[in-house]
Structure 1
Amino acid sequence: MTFSIVARCAETGQLGIAISSSSIAVGARCPWLRPGVGAVATQNITLPALGPEVLDQLESGLSPEHAVDKVLTRNGYSQYRQLTAIDHLGRTVHFSGSETLGTHNAMSGEQCVAAGNMLADRSVIEAMVAAFENGEGQLADRLLAAMHAAIAGGGEAGPVHSAAMVVVGELTWPIINLRVDWADQDPIGKLQTLWDTYRPQVQDYIDRALAPDKSPGYGVAGDDR
């Protein structure tokens, strides 16, 4: 039903998540990130509250392993949950409860952790980790490389319909937050198109937020810059 990768860029410290699902609007429920703290993907039978609660525990100083264990114990029903997390130091954890759906797998790699359920094959997750580790470019490029590798490896057992990618850096808000809430076909391809369009504009939007008097023009009627 869902596969995802949670990762950190060792050079910039950025944290990111890319995720896809057969369900609608996966980006609304499953990826949770906090700048300078960590990133959490909560999936399978999703309880969105787990994401911010794990981030709270990471911010308090707990390791990812202890943060996930504490939050799952407190909320119960851990047998239905699948979680992955990475902290600002690059430490990872993954958990798949006994009721995780269908063929599932989870795996940590260098500065990343991937997981999925209802997979075509367990090797899908291994392909994601390898693609991220060997990827080039920005963190977002490497996250999407992992998603494409998942699809090439078989992806989910059934069709996927939504996808999302979120990246945080030093600012208090996400510098990248792209979503395909529903597509009959190829939501990851559509997410790639969104990123290809947004990539050259990322810094412009940051500049406009922080220094609107010095930022690039908007290219609309009435803007003389």
Structure 2
Amino acid sequence: MTFSIAARCQRTGAFGAAISSSSPAVGSRCVWIAPGHGVVLSQNITDPAIGQAGIALLEQGAAAAAVLGQLALRDSFEWRQVAVLDRSGTTAWSSGRQTLGCHHVVVGQDCVAAGNLLAETGVIDAMVAAFAQSTDLDLPQRLLDALAAGLERGGEAGPVRSAALKVCTEESWPTVDLRVDWDDAPIAALIRAWDVYRPQMANYILRARDPSGAPSFGVPGDPA
């Protein structure tokens, strides 16, 4: 019911993830990022607490394998599909015995992609290949390209309904946090949302850092 990718940008140090599912609001439950430290994906009969515990361990400096080992002490992962990417780009993952349908995990350079109830295992291979082929692009675009490649390869066994993109840079909060919680074509809608947000993103960061220097967006009531 889900396919996703977590990744690190070697050039900027940003961490991010993109995800899509037949379930509603997948971005609210399955993607967890510790800025500067790494990413946890927790999917397939989801327990969001796994993600919360995982990023707490990443923030303490734990490596991916150690994080997964500690998480496994609190949950057998029989029903879970979990992937961890740490600050060095190292990964660890688990797909439990009860992972749904056709499932697959692929590790690439600075990324890990995972999915369940897939149309075929090649969906995940296509995502990692697309990510590897776009090193000249910024991390959000690379993640979206990977998500779109997975959908083009077949995506889930059934239609997807939600999608999300989350990226953390040097700020303590996600500088990209876009979600489509229910739509007939959520990945296309997510790409449109990114196209709108991308040219304004730097100004929103500036608003947080230096409100006196932030430009107006030209909406009613916005200061000049």
TM-score over 0.5 for the pair: yes
**Structure 2 counterpart of 1:206:** 205
Amino acid at match of 2:118: L
SS where residue 17 of structure 1 aligns? strand
* 1:222–1:104 distance in 2 versus 1, CA, 3 Å: closer
Aligned counterparts of 1:224 and 1:94: Cα–Cα separation in 2: 48
Q: 1:50 to 1:224 in 2, by over 3 A?
A: closer
CA, structure 1 residues 214+96, in 2 after alignment: closer, same or farther (shift >3 Å)? Answer: same
Deviations 1:124-155 (A, max 9, x none): 10100000010141100000110111011111
Query: Percent same amino acid at aligned positions?
Result: 49
> Where does residue 107 of structure 1 map in the other structure?
106
Question: Do structure 1's residue 197 and structure 2's residue 196 form an aligned pair?
Answer: yes
2:8 matches 1:23: no
1:66 matched residue in structure 2: 66
TM superposition shift of 1:222:
4.6
Asked whether 1:162 is paired with 2:135, we answer: no
Q: Is the 8 A contact 1:94 1:108 kept in 2?
A: no
- Tell me: CA distance 1:45–1:223, structure 2 relative to 1, closer, same or farther (3 Å): closer
1: CA distance, partners of 2:38 / 2:70? 16
Question: Do the aligned residues in 1 keep the contact of 2:123 with 2:155 (CA within 8 Å)?
Answer: yes
Is 1:123 the equivalent of 2:122? yes
Task: Assess, with a 3 A threshold, how the Cα gap between structure 1 residues 221 and 113 changes in structure 2: closer, same or farther.
Answer: same
Q: CA deviation at 1:59?
A: 2.1
Asked whether the equivalents of residues 34 and 58 of structure 2 are also in contact (C-alpha less than 8 Å), the reply is no
1:61 Cα shift? 2.6
Amino acid at match of 2:49: A
Kindly provide the CA deviation profile for residues 25-66 of structure 1, in whole angstroms up to 9, marking residues without a partner as x.
Answer: 001100000111111110001000001111112222321112
Letter in 2 for 1:48: P
Structure 2 SS opposite 1:165: strand
Is this contact kept in 2: 1:94–1:107, CA < 8 A?
no
Q: Secondary structure at the match of 2:166?
A: strand
Q: Which runs of 5+ in 2 are unaligned?
A: none
CA contact 1:180–1:190 (8 Å) conserved in 2: yes
Aligned with 1:39: secondary structure?
A: strand
Runs of 4+ with deviation above 3 angstroms: 221-224
Q: Which residue does 1:98 correspond to in 2? A: 97
Go from structure 1 to structure 2 and tell me whether the alpha carbon gap of 1:214 and 1:105 turns closer, same or farther (over 3 Å shift).
same
Report the Cα offset of residue 223 of structure 1: 4.4
Q: Unaligned stretches of 5+ in structure 1?
A: none
1:176 matched residue in structure 2: 176
- The equivalent of 1:12 in structure 2 is 12
**SS where residue 208 of structure 1 aligns?**
helix
Partner Cα separation in structure 2 for residue 204 and residue 125 of structure 1:
34
TM-score, normalising length: structure 1: 0.96
CA distance change for structure 1 residues 153 and 221 in 2, over 3 Å: closer, same or farther?
closer
> CA separation in 1, counterparts of 2:153 and 2:108?
18
Aligned residues: 223
Partner of 1:40 in structure 2? 40
1:223–1:47 Cα change, 3 Å: closer
Q: Aligned residue for 2:144?
A: 144
Contact 1:65/1:92 (8 A) holds in 2: yes
- Aligned in 2, Cα 1:220/1:81: closer, same or farther, shift over 3 Å? same
Aligned to 2:216: 217
